[in-house]
Structure 1
Amino acid sequence: MIDLNADLAEGFGRWQLTDDEALLASVTSANVACGFHAGDPLTMRRVCEQAAAAGIRIGAQVAYRDLAGFGRRTMDVPAEELAAEVAYQIGALEIFAHAAGTAVTYVKPHGALYNRCVRDPEQAAAVVEGICTAAVPLPVLSLPGSRLHAAAAAAGLPVVDEAFADRGYLPDGTLAPRDEPGGVVSDQDEVVARALAIAEGGEVAAIDGTPLRLSARSLCLHGDTPGAVRLARRVREALAGGGFTVRAFT
C-alpha cells in the first residue's frame, strides 16, 4: 500500500501551471499551494472542491512568502514569523476545504522551506509550532530522518516518510539541487522504474551512482514537470500492476 501525492493549485490568477483536475484522476493526496509560493484564493477553492468530489485527501503545502521565486529561493525568516505564516496558510486552506465538505488532513512544506527543514532544527521547530497553532495534530510529510520529522514527533504529530520518483538524490539521501546534473529526472521511463523500486523497498542510484534504499509511505510527483499528467497516470498504473494498493496515507 502506498500513497501518491502531487503539488497542485500552483497557478496564480490567469496564469496556470498545473492541470489540477487531470492530476487528481491519478493521485491520492493533493498538496495544495496556500498562496505564499503560488496559488490564489479562487484557485485554492476550486482545487479543494475538485479534490473533495474525487475523494482525494487535501494537504497544506506551506512555503516561504516568495511568489516571485516560486518558493524555491533560500530565505532567512525569523522563527516566530515563520510559525505565524505557516499557521496562516493552513488556516486559509482549511476554510476552502471545509466549504467543500472536507478538511486539511496533512502538511507538507514546499521548495526551499522543505529542504531547509531537513537540516535546520530552528526552522523545522517553527513549522511544527505553526501546525500546532493552526489545527488539531496533523501528519507531517517530509524526508525520513529530517529535522522536521524529529520536531514533529517530539510535538506528538504523526510523521510520514516521503520519497521522490522524479528527483535526484545525494549520497546522504537528501535531494540534489535542481540545478545539478541529475537533480531532476525527466525521462518518464526512468521515473516509473524509480517509483516501483522505491515502493518495493529496492535501491535507486544517487546522482553519483551510490545505491540508496529509500523509505516511503508516500511518493511525490511534481505537477509542474512536463508531461506530468501522463507521467502520474503511468506511475499509478505501474504501481497497481506491481501489486500495490495506491491509497492515501491519511
Structure 2
Amino acid sequence: MLDLVLVGIGTGNPDHLTLQAVRELNAADLILIPRKGPNKADLADLRHTICEQALTNSACRIVEFEMPRRDVADPNYRHGVLQWHDAIARVWQETIEVNLPQGGTVALLVWGDPSLYDSTLRIASRLQPAPRIRSIPGIMSLNMLAAAHTIALNDIGAPFTVTTGRQLRDHGWPEGSNTLIVMLDGECSFQHIPSQDVIIYWGAYVGMPEQILLSGALSEIGPEIITTRAQARAHHGWIMDIYLLRRKIPEQ
C-alpha cells in the first residue's frame, strides 16, 4: 500500500517548517523532488536544503524527477492544465514504481499549503491504484505577505477575496470586497483595473533572503513594481510574487 504525504513547506524558508512537517518528512521512505530545468534549479536546491536541515532519518531516500512542461500554446487554458496534470501524475507513478516497488510512504514538498492555489492534491488523485493521501498544512504566501508588510489582511469586520491574475485581468475587481489578494499573476494584471484610490502591497520571494517588498498608491508604485519584477525574474530565472490590493474607503 502506498501512502502519499503532501507536505506544505511555506515559502521556502526552512524556518517555516512546522514540527508536524518535520515529523512527516522523517517518517517517509522516499521524498520526490521535481527538476524544472536549469533556469529554476534554485527551486529544487531549496527543497534539498530543507531536507538537509530537517531530515534525521538516514534511511529516507531523495529522488529527483523531471517536471513535465505545460503546453502554454493550448488556446483552451483548462484543457492544457488538465493534460499537464495527467503528464505529471504519470511521471510520479513511474518514479514511485521504480524506487518504491513494494509500497511505503512517499513525501512531496509543496510550496505554501497544498490547499490554496496548488494542484498537487488534484494530481495525486490521478494515481492508480489510489494511494492514501494526507495533506500537511504549511504557511501560506498570503500570511507571509501580511507579516512582511505588517498589515492585516482584512478591514474591521470586512471580507477579503483571494483570486488570480487571470481572473483580475479578464473580469476586473470582483464585487463584495474592498480587499483583494492576487496570486499566480505573471502579467502584473493590476494594470487592467482603475488605479484611483487603490493601495497595493506587493512582495516577491516573501519570507526568503531574496525578499523584495514595495507598497503605496497603485497609480504611483505600479510601474516600479513592473520594472522590479522583470529585473528580479531575469536575475533569478524565476519569481514567486503575490500582492494585496485595497480600495480606500471614504471616512464616514
Would you say same fold, with TM above 0.5? no
Shorter-chain TM-score: what band? 0.3 to 0.5
Bigger strand share: 2
TM-score under structure 1 length normalisation:
0.33
Structure ID, larger Rg = 2
TM-score under structure 2 length normalisation:
0.33
